[in-house]
Amino acid sequence: MQIIGHRGARGEAPENTLGGFYYLQHLGIRAVEFDVRQLTDGTLFVMHDDNFLRTAGKLSSVYSCTSSDLKHYDHRAQWKNWTSTESTPLLSEVLTILRDFRHIEVEVKTVKDTATAERLIDTLQQQLQGFEQSATITSFDEKILIALQKQNSHFQRGLLIEDNIKSQAIEKAIKYNCSRIGWKDTLATPDMIELSKLAGLAVSVWTVNDVERAKILQDQGIDGLITDFPKTMQQQLHVLG
């Protein structure tokens, strides 16, 4: 089982920031999950929310920005003791830190329509060149997975599940030629984990911050434990990412 840092290491460092990814790297963990969005000018950047309020304390939409605007937001709103400024990172900047990572889950956030999905996936695949062995493109949004199929993507892909649709989730993952399924923790029952593995799918579970729960999932044979607290999990489970 790999320990996978959630949005870098969001419980131990500002989420989805260069500082957070460097922090994870310094722990010796080489597996990470983060979120990707695309601006209207085509720029891919790393951020979970569609606005800057929670992480940067500014009430504005990310989609009103140009790529140069992203640098004006400091994502330390909840990290007053974090010493370095953490502006919104471009995907290209994040990838320079992750070149020696063994597993990268790139979650593409939901998009408005098929054309937007296809445009984003085209740009994403270009930027992920060289990461074919480590990167898995994941999404809750089926439009993203359809775009990957349409473009005959050679990147691995994964379906993320937050609704309790049980084995239908596995059927969908197979339909979209996924190699991985990402179960929300409360949905990751022993039966669903077993059925996923029988279907040939690698299993990630998110977001697991309780050590005892992590130990149970480890015993059940999951492949990736997505956690906000990678250092804690590393120390308690005695495994590396």
pLDDT tens for each residue of 86-141: 999 999 999 999 999 999 999 999 999 999 999 999 999 999 999 999 999 999 99
In the chain, the DSSP E strands lie at 2-6, 31-38, 44-46, 103-108, 135-139, 156-161, 180-184, 202-206, 224-227
pLDDT for 186: 98
**Segment holding 8, helix H or strand E:** none
Mean pLDDT of 218-225: 97
Q: What letter does residue 163 receive in the DSSP assignment?
A: S
Instruction: Grade residue 44 by pLDDT with cuts at 50, 70 and 90.
Output: very high
Collapsed DSSP state (helix, strand, coil) of residue 37: strand
Residue 104 CA: distances (Å) to CA of 56, 113, 116: 25, 25, 23
Beta bridge partners of 224: 2, 204
User: What's the fold here for domain 2-237?
Assistant: TIM Barrel (3.20.20)
The tokens for 87 are 């502006």
pLDDT for 238: 77
pLDDT for 170: 98
Give the burial class of 102: count Cβ atoms within 10 A of its Cβ; 0-12 exposed, 13-18 middle, 19 or more buried. Answer: middle
Neighbouring CB atoms inside 10 A of 214's CB total: 24
Closest CA to 120 of 101, 143, 136, 100: 143
Closest CA to 128 of 109, 149, 154: 154
pTM of the predicted protein model: 0.97
Q: What letter does residue 110 receive in the DSSP assignment?
A: P
Domain residue extents for the chain: 2-237
pLDDT for 167: 97
